[in-house]
A and B are shown apart, each in its own frame.
Chain A
């Protein structure tokens, strides 16, 4: 069955960067785009970005323009989401999701001085 296994929780200082991974298995890697979605404490779901499996086609939320990069590694069937210049408002649970059908377990990113 489809499995999306994300990397562990991160604590970062403001201004730092974080890179979250999402290891995919149980399906044909090349067939599905991977989205990233986050939820800050007490807030709703927010779309972060998307990449095709080869990483050649990507898009991201305008409000994160210039700070977010979504990539993939076909050799390890792993997707990545990197967020730079972290702010306290970036504190959230980050999920990878295969077209909203399958979800990773979530990675808590905490930004605190």
Chain B
């Protein structure tokens, strides 16, 4: 049971848009920055979004992050087959004094 709640899966056709939600509480998302990671099987996780809405260099602007209250959202526009992967949200939880991850969301391109 993850502290942060993500949908198990989302899907859309190529070139369409998907959004992935990450629901938490005031002890984590509500008061700390959120990161988003992309993870393909057999590879090292890749940071897509940090500090809730910033993209590391090299990450295309098709990926975006936002937060409202105690929930965060990752948006992916212009969906490509290469985007098929597992996506995780992560943040710090002040009550647990620990970093926490969402359970992960599998993105499928139809």
Contact = CB atoms under 8 A, between A and B. Distances in A.
Interface of A: 35, 37, 44-47, 50, 59-62, 95, 97, 99-101, 103-106
Nearest to B86: A44
B45 interface: yes
A100 B33 CA distance: 13
Contact of A100 (B37, B86, B103): B37
Interface string B67-96: 000000000000000000010101000001
Given A103-B45, A106-B44, A47 B99 contact: yes
Is chain B's binding surface mostly helix, strand, loop or mixed? strand
B47 interface: yes
Given A44-B2, A44-B86, A35 B99 contact: yes
Sort A-B residue pairs by CB-CB distance and give the 10 closest, nearest first: A44-B104, A47-B99, A103-B44, A45-B101, A100-B35, A100-B47, A44-B103, A45-B88, A59-B97, A101-B47
A45 B45 contact: yes
Interface of B: 2, 35, 37, 39, 44-45, 47, 50, 56, 86, 88, 90, 96-104
* Most-contacted residue by chain A among B2, B96, B99 (CB, 10 A): B99
B23 to A, nearest CB: 15
Contacts of A46: 101
20 contacts: A35-B99, A37-B101, A44-B102, A45-B88, A45-B90, A45-B101, A45-B104, A47-B98, A47-B100, A59-B98, A61-B98, A95-B44, A99-B50, A100-B37, A100-B45, A100-B47, A100-B90, A101-B50, A103-B44, A104-B44
